[in-house]
């Protein structure tokens, strides 16, 4: 055999040996399975990329079809909320909105007269202040990064607020449409509020201050409830999930109020005359489809028409807190904002001290954030509804 032929034979044998080693290597399941997984994975990715490329080439899919959330989405939502919730068109507010719109057009005219002219023409043609203000809002979103424009706009709004002489309240959350509907609804409950006040010795206005905080909190969080109940029917929202009744009392809080009435050793104890106020009356039936399966305590709280127990539990909570702080040497009888804050937070947050904090849950009304305690404070001292729930000179036992 020639030397060259021997060389080729040796190379062939080496290659066959290499193939045999590779077959043995890939026959190992710890190598074969991961290899096959990667192989099929890359095959699928390649097929997917090819399919996408073919769709783009055919025109079936455009790069413009890829969804995204606009960076200004929050501003668009705020605009919608502003006009849906608080835009009133009575004669006083029409003048106010018109004055604001025309002044904002003047500011815009310094920077973009073309757009100012378009907006002025729209207002001249339609006399629609809401449309005009929304057109200006569209401009403001685009110019939110223009510091000079924003400064001029802020100065104009500042001057505008100084000049305005309307029937609006200094408490801005009382200027929204929901507040007027709420007032009509709470007047309907005067009998139940006064009844709870009479047996508890807690001023009706203080009870209503706790109610206001809870119902105002729902204006934004439960818009559907407002649209269905407070707005058209002028009735209060009855909560029935975790917090119950028109004042939003948690079941555990209600149970604690009941126990405190009986426990003579409790710092919340009110005395013997109050001990049976929340006893269950077997004659009364509070069953209804909305409270099926709930405890007797909750069944009383979620009555759709009779809200007496919502107000009685609220009044007794407030009075028990009064006794706790009074016994600790820190009376808070003249602090409706503290009572409301603690009503919102619960017994476990009531720790008597010389410097109690106003707070509770926070919520948005209109474009501002409020705390539960602050809303109660502003209502109590606002004078609103004083013809129905007057100041008694004392928040507790005022008839004695």
Helices 129-142, 113-126: axis angle to 10 degrees equals: 160
**Residue 369 DSSP SS3:** strand
User: For residues 278 and 270, what is the distance between their CA atoms, to the nearest angstrom?
Assistant: 13
Full-model pTM: 0.60
With cut-offs at 50, 70 and 90, classify the pLDDT of residue 241.
Answer: confident
pLDDT value for 126: 86
Q: Is a pLDDT exceeding 80 seen at residue 63?
A: no
- DSSP conformation letters of 203-269: -HHHHHHHHHHHHHHHHHHTHHHIIIIIHHH-----EEESEEETTTEEHHHHHHHHHHHH-TTSTT-
pLDDT value for 58: 60
Summarised one tens digit per residue, pLDDT across range 104-132 is: 999 999 999 989 998 898 888 888 888 88
Alpha helices in the chain (DSSP H): 3-27, 29-58, 73-85, 91-109, 113-126, 129-142, 147-163, 177-188, 190-200, 204-221, 223-225, 231-233, 251-262, 296-301, 308-327, 336-345, 372-382
Burial code (b: 16+ CB inside 10 Å, e: under 16) for 45-61 equals eeeeeeeeeeeeeeeee
Q: Is a pLDDT exceeding 50 seen at residue 390?
A: yes
Tell me the domain boundaries of the chain. 3-65, 73-168, 174-382
User: For residues 276 and 269, what is the distance between their CA atoms, to the nearest angstrom?
Assistant: 12
With cut-offs at 50, 70 and 90, classify the pLDDT of residue 86.
Answer: low
Yes or no: say if 320 and 260 are a contact pair by the CB < 8 Å rule: yes
User: For residues 300 and 3, what is the distance between their CA atoms, to the nearest angstrom?
Assistant: 108
User: For residues 291 and 297, what is the distance between their CA atoms, to the nearest angstrom?
Assistant: 11
Distant-in-sequence, close-in-space partners of 74: CB < 8 Å, separation ≥ 6: none
Pairing mode of beta strands 368-371, 362-365 = antiparallel
Summarised one tens digit per residue, pLDDT across range 251-275 is: 999 999 999 999 999 999 999 999 9
Mean local confidence (pLDDT), 315-342: 96
Q: How far is CA 99 from the centre of its chain?
A: 31
pLDDT value for 65: 46
Q: Is a pLDDT exceeding 80 seen at residue 234?
A: no
Please state the three-class secondary structure of 176-189 as a single string.
Answer: CHHHHHHHHHHHHC
User: For residues 143 and 98, what is the distance between their CA atoms, to the nearest angstrom?
Assistant: 22
> Which residues, in sequence order, are bridge partners of residue 243?
241, 250
Q: Is a pLDDT exceeding 90 seen at residue 162?
A: no
Yes or no: say if 171 and 216 are a contact pair by the CB < 8 Å rule: no
Yes or no: say if 75 and 356 are a contact pair by the CB < 8 Å rule: no
- Residue 384's CB: how many other CB atoms inside 10 A? 18
**If you average pLDDT over each of 26-35, 154-163, 385-394, which comes out highest?**
385-394
Mean local confidence (pLDDT), 374-389: 93
pLDDT value for 341: 94
Yes or no: say if 207 and 315 are a contact pair by the CB < 8 Å rule: yes
Task: For residue 261, give both structure tokens.
Answer: 């009435």
Task: For residue 234, give both structure tokens.
Answer: 């002028």
User: For residues 253 and 256, what is the distance between their CA atoms, to the nearest angstrom?
Assistant: 5
User: For residues 46 and 40, what is the distance between their CA atoms, to the nearest angstrom?
Assistant: 10
Backbone dihedral angles phi then psi of residue 241, each to the nearest 5 degrees: -145, 105
């Amino acid at each position: 055999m020639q030397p060259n032929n021997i060389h080729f034979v040796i190379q062939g044998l080496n290659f066959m040996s290499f193939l045999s080693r590779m077959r043995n290597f890939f026959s190992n399941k710890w190598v074969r399975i991961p290899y096959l997984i990667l192989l099929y994975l890359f095959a699928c990715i390649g097929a997917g990329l090819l399919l996408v490329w073919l769709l783009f080439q055919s025109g079936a899919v455009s790069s413009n079809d890829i969804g995204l959330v606009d960076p200004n989405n929050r501003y668009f939502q705020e605009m919608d909320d502003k006009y849906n919730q608080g835009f009133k068109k009575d004669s006083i507010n029409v003048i106010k909105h018109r004055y604001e719109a025309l002044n904002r057009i003047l500011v815009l005219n310094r920077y973009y007269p073309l757009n100012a002219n378009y907006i002025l023409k729209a207002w001249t043609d339609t006399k629609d202040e809401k449309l005009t203000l929304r057109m200006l809002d569209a401009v403001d979103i685009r110019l939110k990064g223009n510091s000079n424009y924003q400064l001029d706009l802020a100065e104009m709004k500042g001057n505008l607020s100084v000049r305005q002489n309307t029937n609006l309240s200094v408490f801005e959350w009382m200027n929204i449409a929901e507040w007027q509907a709420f007032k009509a609804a709470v007047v309907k409950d005067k009998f139940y509020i006064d009844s709870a006040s009479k047996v508890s010795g807690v001023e009706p206005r203080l009870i209503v201050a706790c109610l206001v905080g809870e119902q105002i909190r729902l204006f934004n969080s439960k818009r559907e409830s407002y649209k269905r109940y407070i707005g058209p029917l002028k009735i209060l929202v009855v909560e029935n999930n975790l917090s119950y009744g028109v004042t939003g009392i948690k079941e555990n809080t209600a149970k604690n109020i009941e126990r405190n009435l009986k426990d003579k050793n409790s710092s919340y104890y009110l005395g013997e005359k109050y001990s049976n106020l929340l006893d269950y009356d077997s004659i009364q039936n509070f069953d209804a489809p909305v409270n099926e399966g709930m405890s007797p305590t909750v069944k009383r709280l979620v009555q759709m028409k009779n809200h007496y127990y919502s107000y009685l539990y609220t009044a007794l909570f407030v009075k028990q807190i009064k006794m706790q702080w009074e016994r600790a040497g820190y009376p808070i009888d003249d602090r409706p904002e503290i009572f409301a804050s603690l009503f919102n937070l619960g017994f476990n947050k009531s720790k008597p001290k010389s410097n109690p904090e106003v707070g509770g849950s926070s919520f948005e009304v209109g474009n501002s954030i409020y705390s539960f305690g602050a809303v109660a404070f502003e209502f109590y001292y606002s004078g609103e509804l004083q013809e129905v729930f007057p100041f008694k000179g004392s928040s507790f036992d005022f008839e004695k």
